[in-house]
């Protein structure tokens, strides 16, 4: 937690917030702060700054908040990702939040196991908690939006072409003939397949919707590695 | 497992190998192969190619091996990394192997907890197993070397200057004034700190040894994210 992310509910006055739960534990056990200390804070979807600890008990911390700076710039990226295996999904979601991805579409694919959609990590509460962990790591405040689409064909035919408009649209596919471009630094849409990849029918449908199939070299990467590798390649300002 | 990595002990003849254990289970339960099928194989530190399954039982698979192609190119990178938290270390090691990092130095730092060095993931056998998992993911065969240095000062003063010779030497440090360069594509040494970063004394010692302190922007990344982001930034051929 490189920043304590504050929600509207945490505020008891315009510039005063109460911290409890995980964030309070972190203050006690990791940061080992005392009354009077300053900690980095941010307001969800707002600015970042510092919090002065006015009062610190086992039950709560009272923090006087001064928000002075904008959060890091968001990436101009729409990430369309076949739903990963649950354990990996949780980490990938945190990583996306840390890297500044703000628009995440979780889609179905032939090699997405049906059981993946049952994971509790897809609940509203768990999605938010893991995005918050990723944002706090990066000292960011802008919560990503996550869209869930459990049917491949209607998504790709009815929604994807509109999403791709005015973006450089790519599908990362190990079999593709073209290497992935670098330094796009502008509006981009990126599709990433499941373990084992998109099947040829799916790649064809994505290409039909407007994506260019590109590869990342001869190594096959796991989704959790492919996301930071691709983001770093496409955007100079990442990190 | 995008490739079954074969060790010398697996070979019963020049072009015939026996698979047992994890790799056999994978053939049965994930790849669901039958006798006569071809699977991608590689020989450790050697070439890659295909294996024809001659016999498949619950106890073993007999594979006729034809090695035809070199593995993907290694990265010209010396990675010097403060020992991560054990759970993260295992994943980072796999990721390094997948990305083509071949020379990994695990070093101490002020914010490395002493207990991290006690992890069973540092045993010869576990190091090898996790590197093999990473290589099999990438369809690579070249095992990385892992060097363990539990004392910061003697390593940085006595060994590091020699390691850095004829390389572009960097230390990733969120507080640095210079942004991390891109597309070095040549011999590079990269130091990455622990959670919470190197302390100023450590950065000073690394700079004294020949490293340039560079930052990755305003976001603070976890080690497991920083490694693929940095590798992708430094080397175009990564992935």
Separation CA A111–CA A108 (nearest Å): 8
Cβ separation B233–A228 shorter than 8 A? no
* Pairing state between β B38-43 and B16-19: unpaired
Interface of A with B in 97-126 (CB under 8 A): 98-100
Of B2, B95, B221, the CB nearest to A220: B2
Residue A207 and residue A97 in contact, taking contact as beta carbons nearer than 8 Å: no
Q: What does the longest C-alpha to C-alpha distance in chain A come to?
A: 61
The rounded distance, in Å, linking the Cα atoms of A110 and A192 is 13
Min CA distance, B58 vs chain A (Å)?
24
B43: its two tokens: 């020989």
B77-234 matches B4-69 in CATH topology:
no
A229 reaches B (C-beta below 8 A): yes
Instruction: List pLDDT tens digits, range A161-178.
Output: 999 999 999 999 988 999
Cβ pairs bridging A and B (under 8 Å): 96
Of B31 and A38, more confident: A38
Direct distance between the N- and C-terminal alpha carbons of chain B, in angstroms, rounded to an integer: 16
Structure tokens at B238: 């990564």
DSSP characters over B180-216? PP----S-EEEEE--TT---HHHHHHHHHTTPEEEE-
pLDDT for position B31: 87
Query: Is the domain defined by B77-234 classed in CATH 1.10.10.10?
Result: no
Whether the Cβ atoms of residue B144 and residue B138 lie closer than 8 Å to each other: no
Q: Is B181 near chain A, with CB under 8 Å?
A: no
B180 part of contact set with chain A, CB < 8 Å: yes
Kindly report the number of other CB atoms within 10 A of residue A98's CB atom: 27
Q: Is B239 a residue whose pLDDT tops 50?
A: no
Question: Mean pLDDT across the stretch A196-215?
Answer: 97
B43-71 pLDDT per residue, tens = 999 999 999 999 999 999 999 999 999 99
With residue A43 as reference, give the H or E element that holds it.
strand A38-43
Is A217 an 8 Å CB contact of chain B?
Answer: yes
Q: Minimal Cα–Cα distance from A158 to chain B, Å?
A: 32
What is the complex's ipTM, to 2 decimals?
0.94
Within 10 A of A31 (CB to CB), how many other CB atoms are there? Answer: 15
Distance between CA atoms of residues A39 and A4, nearest Å: 8
Residue A234 contacts B where some CB pair is shorter than 8 Å: no
Instruction: Determine contact: B230 vs chain A, CB below 8 A.
Output: yes
User: Within 13 Å and on the Cβ side, how many CA atoms surround B114?
Assistant: 0
Asked if pLDDT for residue A239 goes beyond 60, the answer is: no
**Residue spans per domain, chain B:** 4-69, 77-234
Name residues whose C-beta falls within 8 Å of residue B144's C-beta, 6 or more positions apart in sequence.
B96, B97, B101, B102, B103, B104, B131
The verdict on a CB contact (< 8 Å) between B180 and A231 is no
Alpha carbon of B98: minimum distance to chain A alpha carbons (Å): 7
Q: Across chain A, what does the average pLDDT equal?
A: 95
| Long-range contacts (CB closer than 8 Å, 24 or more residues apart) made by A35-40 | A39/A4, A39/A63, A40/A2, A40/A3, A40/A4, A40/A139
Mean pLDDT of B148-167: 98
Residue A158 CB partners (closer than 8 Å, separation 6+): none
Q: What is the Cα–Cα distance from A53 to A18, expressed in whole angstroms?
A: 10
**pLDDT at residue B148 in the model:** 98
- In whole angstroms, give the CA distance from residue A82 to residue A195: 9
Helix residue spans in chain B (DSSP H): 21-26, 86-99, 124-138, 152-154, 160-164, 200-208, 223-234
Contact across the interface for B2 and A236, Cβ inside 8 Å: no
Region A4-69: CATH code? 2.40.240.20
> pLDDT grade, residue B238 (50/70/90)?
low
Quote the tokens at residue B108: 């101490």
B2: closest chain A residue by CA: A220
Give the residues across from B188 on adjacent strands. B77, B168
Residues in B touching A144 (Cβ below 8 Å): none
pLDDT digits (tens, 9 = 90+) for A94-113: 999 999 999 999 999 999 99
């Amino acid at each position: 937690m490189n920043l304590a992310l504050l929600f509207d509910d945490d505020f008891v006055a315009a510039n005063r917030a109460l911290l409890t739960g995980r964030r309070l534990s972190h203050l006690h056990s990791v940061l080992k702060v005392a009354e009077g200390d300053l900690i980095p804070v941010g307001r969800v979807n707002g600015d970042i700054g510092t919090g002065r600890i006015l009062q610190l008990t086992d039950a709560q911390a009272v923090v006087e908040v001064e928000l002075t700076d904008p959060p890091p710039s968001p990436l101009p990226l729409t990430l369309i990702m076949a739903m990963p295996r649950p354990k990996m999904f949780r980490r990938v979601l945190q990583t996306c939040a840390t890297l500044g991805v703000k628009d995440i579409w979780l889609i179905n694919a032939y090699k997405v196991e049906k059981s993946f959609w049952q994971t509790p990590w897809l609940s509203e509460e768990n999605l938010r908690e893991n995005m918050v962990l990723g944002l706090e790591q990066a000292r960011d405040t802008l919560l990503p939006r996550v869209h869930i689409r459990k049917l491949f064909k209607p998504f790709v035919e009815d929604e994807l072409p509109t999403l791709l408009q005015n973006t450089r649209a790519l599908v990362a596919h190990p079999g593709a003939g073209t290497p992935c471009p670098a330094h796009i630094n502008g509006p981009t849409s990126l599709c990433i397949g499941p373990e084992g990849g998109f099947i040829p029918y799916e790649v064809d449908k994505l290409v039909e919707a407007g994506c260019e199939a590109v590869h990342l070299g001869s190594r096959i990467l796991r989704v959790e590695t492919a996301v930071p590798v691709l983001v770093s390649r496409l955007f100079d300002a990442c990190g």
